[in-house]
């Protein structure tokens, strides 16, 4: 009775060993110093191989020959030794990849789509040819190439893998990885479930797509058995088709480097190029949607210091905030796929208007007000502006008009500069969804018809809403719209799961923050709605130089401040809220405060 069992385990061992051998690294940064990885410098990349053919700027053919037709990129095996493969020229660091694939037929033929890091972290999809595997596919993962356990692979049912194109998606974050087939989750791996994170894939990965003959007669018997049997090349050729690929990169930049040899994601350093913004890379016209709604012009901002403008939405589940319209009119863009919407938003965020706006901010606002700060403080005997609402360095400099009133006088230039700065900063920050675990937020949400999940108040181009959609790509949201809204008036959207502020309250003195909180409070559903604030939470001691610089900048321009945790606690309690948690991230200067009605 023992022999068949031992034989089975031997076959598994040989199969896994051979599978590992398909992916290699030229330099393992957990063993020695290696060159930096080239990063995908944009938030999104989309390419439709059926209409645009090859994309030589993004992909290298590392083995064999790949052809391009109206059916997509074709990976074909004609004879022993054929194994056509392409590999991305860049890496991503957490995000999502969707492969639109029709797998190859043929016993023993393996079609594969793999995310692979230099230290052999791996996440993959694999499809086996042959009639026995035409309705199933395999997901798998490795941490640091560790093949000491054999419970990582999982099989999922899917109809007609060899005759029908399906969308196979990997959603990869620091806390969990989820595999989707046609937008339906079929498997989730939590960080803690991979040997307490030790075997969890967590370092920058490139993308490898190809086909090989696991059933080649020269392979080990265990590999041939795993692949479904020996390959008969005479029945070929065997072709895998890749129609389209969609990529979301949560941490765009110029390059990724390993800060040490632990292989832990917290050690990864993201280097930004001088102009490495969140520009979307889209090589097909069908990949991006019009930016007229979710990423419209950045000219609208707060109309005055007493009229902060934000945005809301009329979408079924997700409410996005775009550049707020002072007229309050609604415009929208269809979100055909999560990445298409991300593409439109990222294109607007990277537009010349945004980049020039950020430059105008520095030249028109920051430098002059900074130069006048010493004179202002001396003039008023170094009183803290927060102690007297009549004290405002910016208003003193302009002769009476505070920052927001000044922007309102020239929305095309000065107003857009504020949106430009906020967009540029958001592109460089750690996504709030990496700081705060949104799993419970989404799973506990009531998404019945007409219900809303998330309202981002004052969110400009809606990038934070897109972060949520990227983390949960199949939320039932069909349209992203914008809506003019003054957050010093009652919140019109009642009862969503979460109301979100990012870098809004810190622009205002406490009295005005209490006003905006009161307007949110009346719309919240007791015991259900959450208030999320993504802001700097100053520690009581040893604040970083960046935190202190931001604090001084706020005092300089708007008489605002970066509050301490104790200050936030007192302010929220005064407004009728209780803090549930303060989530932090080792690479983020800001924290996410979760609060609810007291």
Per-residue pLDDT of the chain (598 residues; tens, 9 = 90+): 222 222 222 333 333 333 433 457 889 999 999 999 999 998 889 999 999 999 999 999 999 999 999 999 999 999 999 999 999 999 999 999 999 999 999 999 999 999 999 999 999 999 999 999 999 999 999 998 887 665 689 999 999 999 999 999 999 988 889 999 998 889 999 888 888 888 999 999 999 999 999 999 999 998 999 999 999 999 999 999 999 999 999 889 999 999 999 999 989 999 874 433 333 333 322 222 222 222 222 222 222 222 333 333 323 344 433 322 222 222 222 222 333 333 333 444 444 444 444 455 555 566 677 677 777 777 777 777 665 455 676 666 767 777 777 777 776 666 666 666 666 565 567 889 989 999 888 888 887 656 778 888 987 667 788 888 888 877 765 445 566 678 888 888 888 899 999 988 887 888 889 999 999 999 999 999 999 999 989 888 777 777 777 777 777 677 777 888 999 999 999 999 999 999 988 778 889 999 999 9
- pLDDT at residue 54, rounded to an integer: 94
Contact criterion met (CB below 8 Å) for 280 and 346: yes
- Residue that is written with structure tokens 């088709």 in the block: 241
Is the alpha carbon torsion for 326, 327, 333, 334 positive or negative?
A: positive
104 vs 163: CA distance, rounded Å: 9
Comparing C-alpha atoms, which of 438, 517, 465 is closest to residue 323?
Answer: 465
Catalytic hit among 126, 225, 535, 562: 126
pLDDT (0 to 100) of residue 224? 93
Residue 97 tokens, joined: 């990849």
Q: Do 426 and 350 form a contact (C-beta atoms < 8 A)?
A: no
Q: Which residues contact 149 (CB under 8 A, 6 or more apart)?
A: 199
pTM of the entire predicted model: 0.54
Give the up-direction half-sphere exposure of residue 591: CA atoms within 13 A in the CB hemisphere: 18
Cβ(402)–Cβ(305) below 8 Å: yes
For 71-204, where are the E strands, in sequence order? 72-77, 85-88, 95-102, 109-117, 122-128, 136-142, 154-157, 166-172, 176-181, 184-190
Closest CA to 361 of 417, 401, 317: 417
Does residue 596 carry a catalytic annotation? no
Residue 528, C-beta contacts closer than 8 angstroms, at least 6 positions apart? 446, 495, 497
The whole-number pLDDT of residue 386 equals: 61
Q: State in Å, rounded, how far the first CA of the chain is from the last one.
A: 64
- Nearest-CA neighbor of 201 among 272, 125, 141, 127? 141
For residue 238, what are the β-bridge partners?
77
Cβ neighbours of 286 (radius 10 Å): 14
DSSP-based three-state secondary structure for 247: strand
**pLDDT for residue 25:** 81
Note the pLDDT of residue 393.
61
Question: Residue 390 — left, alpha, or beta (φ > 0 → left; ψ -120 to 50 → alpha)?
Answer: alpha
**Cα–Cα distance between 161 and 103 in angstroms, integer?**
6
Residues 538-568 as b or e (16 or more Cβ within 10 Å = b): beeeebeeebeebbebbbbbbbbbbbeeeeb
Is residue 257 left, alpha or beta, with left meaning phi > 0 and alpha meaning psi from -120 to 50? beta
CA 520/CA 475 separation, integer angstroms: 24
Q: How wide is the angle at C-alpha 107 spanned by C-alphas 102 and 110, nearest 5°? A: 50
Are 467 and 423 in contact by the 8 Å Cβ rule? The answer is: no
Residue 484 CA to residue 309 CA, distance in Å, equals 7
Q: Which of 122, 225, 243, 596 is catalytic?
A: 122
- Given this model, what pLDDT does residue 130 score? 92
Beta pairing, strands 44-48 & 281-282:
parallel
Radius of gyration of the chain (CA): 26
Provide the pLDDT for residue 309: 37
Q: Rounded to the nearest 5°, which phi and psi values hold at 363?
A: -75, -40
How far apart CA 99 and CA 189 sit, in angstroms, is 19
Which residue segments constitute the domains of the chain, with CATH numbers given? 37-271 (2.60.120.200), 345-425 (no CATH), 431-597 (3.40.50.150)
CB of 202 closer than 8 Å to CB of 172 = no
What integer pLDDT is reported at residue 23 of this predicted model? Answer: 58
Residue 225 designated active-site: no
Pairing of strands 318-319, 454-457: parallel
């Amino acid at each position: 009775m023992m022999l068949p069992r031992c034989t089975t385990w031997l076959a598994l061992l040989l199969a896994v060993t051979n599978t590992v051998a398909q992916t290699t690294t030229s330099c393992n940064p957990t063993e020695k110093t290696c060159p930096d990885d080239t990063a995908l410098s944009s938030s999104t990349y989309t390419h439709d191989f059926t209409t645009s053919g090859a994309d030589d700027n993004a992909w290298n053919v590392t083995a064999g020959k790949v052809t391009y037709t109206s059916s997509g990129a074709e990976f074909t095996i004609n004879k022993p030794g054929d194994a056509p493969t392409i590999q991305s020229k860049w890496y991503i660091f957490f995000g999502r990849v969707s492969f639109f694939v029709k797998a190859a037929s043929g016993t023993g033929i393996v079609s594969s789509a793999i995310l692979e890091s230099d230290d052999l972290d791996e996440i993959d999809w694999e499809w086996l040819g042959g009639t026995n595997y035409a309705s199933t596919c395999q997901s798998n993962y490795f941490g640091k190439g560790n093949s000491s356990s054999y419970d990582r692979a999982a099989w999922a049912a899917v109809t007609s893998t060899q005759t029908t194109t399906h969308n196979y998606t990997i959603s990869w974050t620091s806390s969990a990885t989820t595999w989707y087939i046609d937008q339906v989750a079929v498997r989730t791996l939590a960080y803690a479930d991979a040997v307490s994170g030790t075997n969890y894939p967590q370092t920058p990965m490139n993308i490898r797509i190809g086909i090989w003959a696991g059933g080649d007669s020269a392979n080990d018997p265990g590999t041939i058995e795993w692949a479904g049997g020996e390959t008969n090349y005479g029945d070929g050729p065997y072709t895998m088709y890749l129609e389209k690929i969609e990529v979301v990169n949560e941490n765009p930049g110029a390059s990724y480097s390993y800060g040490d040899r632990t292989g832990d994601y917290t050690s990864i350093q993201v280097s930004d190029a001088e102009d490495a913004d969140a520009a979307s890379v889209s090589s097909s016209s069908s990949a991006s949607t019009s930016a007229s709604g979710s990423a419209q012009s950045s000219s609208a901002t707060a109309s005055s210091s007493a009229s902060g403008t934000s945005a809301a939405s009329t979408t079924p589940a997700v409410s996005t905030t775009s550049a707020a319209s002072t007229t309050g009119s609604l415009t929208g863009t269809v979100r055909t796929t999560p990445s298409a919407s991300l593409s439109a938003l990222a294109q607007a965020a990277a537009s010349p208007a945004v980049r020039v706006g950020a430059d105008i901010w520095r030249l028109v606002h920051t430098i002059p007000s900074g130069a006048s700060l010493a004179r202002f403080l001396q003039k008023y005997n170094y009183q803290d502006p927060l102690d007297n609402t009549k004290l405002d360095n910016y208003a003193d400099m302009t002769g009476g008009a505070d920052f927001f009133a000044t922007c309102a006088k020239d929305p095309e230039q000065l107003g857009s500069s504020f949106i430009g700065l906020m967009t540029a900063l958001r592109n460089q920050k750690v996504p709030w969804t990496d700081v705060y675990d949104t799993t419970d937020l989404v799973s506990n949400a009531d998404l019945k018809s007409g219900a809303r999940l998330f309202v981002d108040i004052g969110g400009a181009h809606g990038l934070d809403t897109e972060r949520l959609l990227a983390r949960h790509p199949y939320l039932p949201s069909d349209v992203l719209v914008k809506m003019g809204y003054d957050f010093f008036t009652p919140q019109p959207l009642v009862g969503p799961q979460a109301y979100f502020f990012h870098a809004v309250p810190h622009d205002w003195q406490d009295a005005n923050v209490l006003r905006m909180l009161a307007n949110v409070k009346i719309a919240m559903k007791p015991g259900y709605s959450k208030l999320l604030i993504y802001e700097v939470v100053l520690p009581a001691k040893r604040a970083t130089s960046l935190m202190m610089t931001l604090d001084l900048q706020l005092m300089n321009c708007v008489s605002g401040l970066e509050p301490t945790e104790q200050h936030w606690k007192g302010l929220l309690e005064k407004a009728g809220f209780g803090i549930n948690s303060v989530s932090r991230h080792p690479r983020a200067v800001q924290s996410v405060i979760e609060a609810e009605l007291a």
